[in-house]
A and B are shown apart, each in its own frame.
Chain A
């Protein structure tokens, strides 16, 4: 995840397709960057499938309570009649998979795995999106400032990035989760833990995007339009946010899409080691951790949360890849 993306802006350059069309003598139509990107994206079936799954998963996360109330059972509701008390495993083949319980039942008390996977998506999505947002906001500001001003500002920020990149993030997260109070920042219980996960993942991952933005800014600030703005007397604030930032939207967008799956994995890892939300509330990583104990007798328990993480991460990556190709054809 630390590999910097070689994203350079193609926006101010001549577009070969447009030039080609012009040479054929047809009416020249101006097309915006967005239109061109969309055209390219439309041709990329894999990215579209990925994007479709991403939208589906986001919808599932948003409407999880509704879905569960319609076709599942409450995620923490026990169904002990369906579980053998002595072996602790559900009756029936494949972990109790049936028309009632589509993904089977959890061992011991028989909670509906389907509902738990669906509900678990909320934590994953919430943490992944918000922590990505946090990283992107901090990373962009720091990157633009470092790149534009250069000099000692750049030195300080760049070293700061090095420090953050060297931070043993997972260990820190585990230690912090153990020491968390029950109530903090006006939140209670699991909300505290979600907030802390967002903070840890978001706050310590900004240097990756910061470096990319800094590199982009370095090349952009020598451009004519920046010179023009400067010679017209624009203040640095205006140049940063009105001139540079719009030209950085492409790499920001691409990088965000690729950061989300990494953060989903990170959240799952935290939950797996017990630093995530507390039982009985479901999360994918927590379910996986529980499933490892039952692996020898009930492998399907591991399958569904595992599959959920796998499909989600893959979909985001496919979509992100496609988006990068579309927005920035040179980096192929």
Chain B
């Protein structure tokens, strides 16, 4: 027995010796990336095109949907996927690149017609569109789902654009509706079964984007099971739900009553079956499954994890199967003016100058992960302008300028401290927080990192002003992707101070400037898209000169495209693969 123990020690020593023996002196090679990062066969064009029908397309999801109910969903991938089983009035065109960001009618016969004041919008519904049970889709069903989406107590997840813009006259929910057909909302008229008219309380010139929100998909009032409806949404699209294991998996099969003749703007539905696995908790595992061919699409669509990225970049064969999707997502951090002394703009500006942006880019995987952001609006959004109010050499930060601002702020040596919050389990946000803390330590600002549960980050923590103030959270690490690729779709929810509620759940983490609010209002009635865009650039400039945000990275997603998936392309409408067009060679 003794001998055995001695042997263990010797073996251990051998391991240590081997380890140390591997040490050598290798100087760092000059920096720089190694060749093009991605093959990009699916960017701007269609990779592996095919019109062959049949087979099973297998999706995997690290988490679960917020909800499959068209009235209650806000994830980009969900809006992309929902077109399989729901037809909203308008949708993003199923086409590669920038064309995918244009709107085409889906359930409607055409895009909306506006009244001269942009307050009344009319759509006509296609005839002959049928649900999976064979009944025909009516304009009233569309109205009913919009009514449902207004009820944020029952359906908290979806966007609030209809709540904010429709002339509700106090209407709150179809479940509190005195009308016997539950269609009492005056803001939406349905003069006949194929016409729907929206009345807004303030003008909105780009209403077609609202009409592309999934809550304009039809839900017949007689089939509404409220919160249980998400377990079997009545399909109006090419696929219907088959087996459903909530929280685990579901499958879809073809909707026998779907008629492609009623869907001239849609691509042919290729696969016979769709399988979705939920809560595959390890995202590294998802990447491995994609690369080994045992899964087809990571539904989150935000790209592979760092480990897989490193693996792909080292292997030309893997790299040939990748696309780098430029997204409308900005990874940024908000400086909280509620925390002293950050209420002083000079202290905020000191932070802007001090931050080393190359390290923020590193946090998100280098140039493959995204481009260094110097302002808010992602360049992929039409009309966006790139500018830099805090230009520093190579984006590495300028400590002298930072110290000058600190002097103006009355803290020449820093000497104050606060906390930095980020979402637990998000390694890239943790790295961002680490890097900001490191930069700030150089100008004498002490910070501590705090993570909070991702699911409640906005509701209870970073998105709740009383919490951030009480917990001395001076910087909140965050990220935002456009609801649709235009200035309003990106900026409206994150810089408009009127969207901040003391009760929490805010997407605007503390940007408060009346000038910004005024500029936003001036975009609403502007019919000319180019003029609208230029006002959004003004909003962007104002936000940056107020020094409320530290833009980090305009994200790119390194998407892996397994060989057996056909018709693959990235659409700018969602910055993901267009799920509607995908086919498969798996039988």
Chain A residues packing against B (C-beta within 8 Å) = 44-46, 49-50, 76, 78, 80-89, 91-94, 96-100, 102, 107-109, 178, 182, 189, 274, 278-280, 290, 293-298, 303, 307, 310-311, 314, 318, 321
Q: Is B99 an interface residue (CB 8 A)?
A: no
Pick the contact of A307: B15, B27, B359 (CB < 8 A).
B15
A97 to B25, CA, bound (A): 8
Q: How far is the CA of A85 from the CA of B360 in the complex (A)?
A: 11
B359 near A78 with CB under 8 A, answer yes
Contacts of A307 in B (CB 8 A): 15-16, 19
Q: Would A88 and B365 count as touching, CB distance under 8 A?
A: yes
Q: Contact string, B414-436, partner A, CB cutoff 8 A, digits 1/0?
A: 00000100001001001100110
Among B28-36, B177-185, B380-388, B560-568, the stretch that binds chain A is B28-36
Is there an interface contact between B314 and A87, defined as CB atoms closer than 8 Å?
Answer: yes
Q: Which of B27, B358, B450 is A182 in contact with, Cβ under 8 Å?
A: B450
| Contacts A278-B449, A307-B16, A318-B5; A88 near B362 (Cβ below 8 A) | yes
CB neighbours of B2 from chain A (8 A): 44, 46
| Given contact pairs A83-B362, A98-B24, A182-B471, A49 touches B427 in the complex (Cβ within 8 A) | no
Complex contact B37–A278 (CB within 8 A): no
**Does B284 sit at the interface, judged by CB under 8 A?**
yes
- Rounded to whole angstroms, the CA-CA distance of A91 and B313 in the bound complex is 13
Could you tell me the distance between the alpha carbons of A107 and B362 in the complex, rounded to whole angstroms?
10
- Per DSSP, are chain B's interface residues mostly helix, strand or loop, or mixed? helix
Q: Is the CB of A274 within 8 A of B431?
A: no
Is A296 a contact partner of B9 (Cβ separation < 8 A)? no
Within 8 A of A (CB), among B401-418: none
Given A93-B26, A274-B424: 20 more A-B contacts, CB < 8 Å: A85-B361, A88-B306, A88-B366, A93-B24, A97-B23, A98-B23, A98-B25, A108-B362, A109-B362, A279-B430, A279-B434, A293-B306, A296-B308, A297-B307, A303-B19, A311-B16, A314-B8, A314-B12, A318-B5, A321-B5
How far, in whole Å, are A307 and B359 apart by their CA atoms in the complex?
30
Residues on the A chain within 8 Å of B28, using CB: 81-82, 91-92
Is there an interface contact between A78 and B435, defined as CB atoms closer than 8 Å?
A: yes
Q: Nearest Cβ in chain A — how far from B383, in angstroms?
A: 30
* In the complex, chain B residues whose CB is within 8 Å of the CB of A298: 307, 310
Kindly list chain B residues whose C-beta atoms are within 8 Å of the C-beta of A86. 33-34, 37, 309, 313, 365-369
Q: Which residues of A contact B305 (CB under 8 A)?
A: 293
* Chain A CB within 8 A of B22 CB: yes
Find out whether the CB atom of B22 lies under 8 angstroms from the CB atom of A94: yes
Contacts of A294 in B (CB 8 A): 306-307, 310
Check A280/B434 contact, CB under 8 A, given A45-B6, A307-B19. Answer: yes
Bound-state CA distance A279–B437 (Å) is 11
Report which of B9, B358, B453 forms a contact with A318, defined as CB distance below 8 A.
B9
Taking CB atoms, residues of chain A closer than 8 Å to B24 are: 93, 97-99
Q: Is the interface of A mostly helix, strand, loop or mixed?
A: loop
Residues of A within 8 A of B366 (CB): 84-88
Contact between chains at A108 and B9 (CB < 8 Å): no
Which chain A residues border B362 with CB–CB below 8 Å? 80, 83, 85, 88, 108-109
Return chain A residues, CB-CB under 8 Å to B23: 97-99, 102
Q: Which residues of B contact A50 (CB under 8 A)?
A: 9
Q: Assess A87 versus B309: contact at CB under 8 Å? Given A80-B359, A278-B450.
A: yes
- For B306, the closest partner residue in chain A by CB is A88
Contacts of A296 in B (CB 8 A): 284, 288, 307-308, 311
Given A84-B366, A109-B434, the answer on whether A89 and B310 have CB atoms closer than 8 Å is yes
Task: Sample 28 A-B pairs with CB under 8 A, ordered by A number.
Answer: A46-B2, A50-B9, A81-B31, A84-B366, A85-B31, A85-B33, A85-B358, A86-B37, A87-B310, A87-B313, A87-B314, A88-B362, A92-B28, A93-B24, A99-B24, A99-B25, A107-B306, A109-B362, A182-B471, A189-B448, A290-B427, A295-B307, A296-B284, A297-B307, A307-B16, A311-B12, A311-B16, A318-B5
Find chain A residues with CB under 8 A from B471 CB: 182
User: Shortest 9 CB-CB distances between A and B: which pairs?
Assistant: A85-B366, A86-B366, A87-B310, A92-B26, A297-B310, A99-B25, A86-B368, A82-B28, A46-B5
Contact with A along B284-316 (1 / 0, CB 8 A): 100010000000000000000111111101100
- Tell whether B139 is near chain A: CB-to-CB under 8 Å: no
For the complex, is B363 an interface residue (Cβ under 8 Å from A)?
A: yes
Interface residue ranges of B78-130 to A (CB < 8 Å): none
A109 and B31 contact, Cβ closer than 8 Å, known pairs A45-B6, A182-B471:
no
A98 near B307 (CB under 8 angstroms)? no
In the complex, what residue of chain B is closest to A77 when comparing beta carbons? B438
Contact surface of B with A, Cβ cutoff 8 Å = 2, 5-6, 8-9, 12, 15-16, 19-20, 22-29, 31, 33-34, 37, 284, 288, 305-311, 313-314, 358-359, 361-363, 365-369, 419, 424, 427, 430-431, 434-435, 437-438, 448-451, 453, 471-472
Q: Please, how many angstroms separate the alpha-carbon atoms of A55 and B24 in the complex? A: 29
Total contacts A-B at CB 8 Å: 142
Instruction: Give Cα A31 to B2, complex, Å.
Output: 26
- The smallest beta-carbon distance between A44 and chain B, in angstroms, is 8
- How many angstroms from the CA of A20 to the CA of B377 in the assembled complex? 90
Cα–Cα, bound, A109→B2 (Å): 45
Minimum CB–CB distance for A289 against chain B, Å: 10
Q: Please name all residues of chain A whose beta carbon is closer than 8 Å to the beta carbon of B449 when the two chains form the complex.
A: 278-280
Q: Is the CB of B310 within 8 A of A280?
A: no
**Using Cβ atoms and an 8 Å threshold, which residues of chain A touch B31?**
81, 84-85
User: Do residues A182 and B419 form an inter-chain contact, with CB atoms below 8 A?
Assistant: yes
Could you tell me the distance in whole angstroms from the C-beta of A143 to the nearest C-beta in chain B? 30
**A293-B307 contact in complex given A314-B12, A318-B9, C-beta closer than 8 Å:** yes
List chain A residues, Cβ under 8 A from B37: 86
Question: B33 to chain A: which residues have CB within 8 Å?
Answer: 84-86
Are B307 and A85 in touch, CB under 8 angstroms?
no
Query: Chain A nearest CB: distance from B316 CB in Å?
Result: 14
Min CB distance A266 to B, Å, is 21
The CA-CA distance from A230 to B196 in the complex, in Å, is: 98
Q: B438 touching A78 by the CB < 8 A rule?
A: yes
- Once bound together, how far apart are the Cα atoms of A182 and B284, in whole Å? 32
Among A45, A50, A87, A293, the most chain B Cβ lie within 10 Å of the Cβ of A87
Measured in the bound complex, the distance between the Cα atoms of B451 and A280 in whole Å is 12
Measured between beta carbons, the chain A residues less than 8 angstroms from B359 are: 78, 80, 109
Residues B9 and A46 in contact, CB atoms below 8 Å apart: yes
| A108 engages B8 (CB within 8 Å) | no
- C-alpha gap A190/B442 in the complex (Å): 21
A92 proximity list for chain B (CB < 8 A) = 26, 28-29
Q: Chain A residue with minimal CB distance to B28? A: A82
Residue of A nearest to B365 (CB): A88
CB distance from A174 to the nearest CB of B (A): 12
Q: List residues of chain B with CB within 8 A of the CB of A82.
A: 28
A152 CB, min distance to chain B CBs, angstroms: 43
Q: A316 CB to closest chain B CB, in angstroms? A: 13
In the complex, what distance in Å separates the CA atom of A257 from the CA atom of B29? 47
Q: Shortest beta-carbon distance, B324 to chain A, in Å? A: 11
C-alpha spacing A279/B34, complex, angstroms: 31
| B431 CB contacts on chain A under 8 angstroms | 108-109
Q: Establish whether residues B434 and A80, one from each chain, have CB atoms under 8 Å apart when the complex forms.
A: no
Select from chain A the residue with minimum beta-carbon distance to B26.
A92
Interface centre among A82, A274, A297 (most CB of B within 10 A): A297
**Is there an interface contact between A280 and B12, defined as CB atoms closer than 8 Å?**
no
CB contacts (< 8 Å) of A278 on chain B: these are 448-451
Task: Please state if B29 and A91 are interface contacts (CB–CB under 8 Å).
Answer: yes
CB distance from A183 to the nearest CB of B (A): 10
Distance from A222 Cβ to chain B, minimum over Cβ atoms (Å)? 34
Q: How far is the CA of A293 from the CA of B419 in the complex (A)?
A: 26
A44 to B1, CA, bound (A): 12
Residue picked from A80, A86, A102, most chain B C-beta under 10 Å: A86
> Which residues of the other chain, B, contact A88 by a CB distance below 8 angstroms?
306, 309-310, 362, 365-366
Q: Which of B15, B22, B311, B448 is in CB contact (< 8 Å) with A97?
A: B22
A182–B28 CA distance with the chains assembled, in angstroms: 40
CB contacts (< 8 Å) of B22 on chain A: these are 93-94, 97
Alpha-carbon distance A89/B449, docked complex (angstroms)? 23
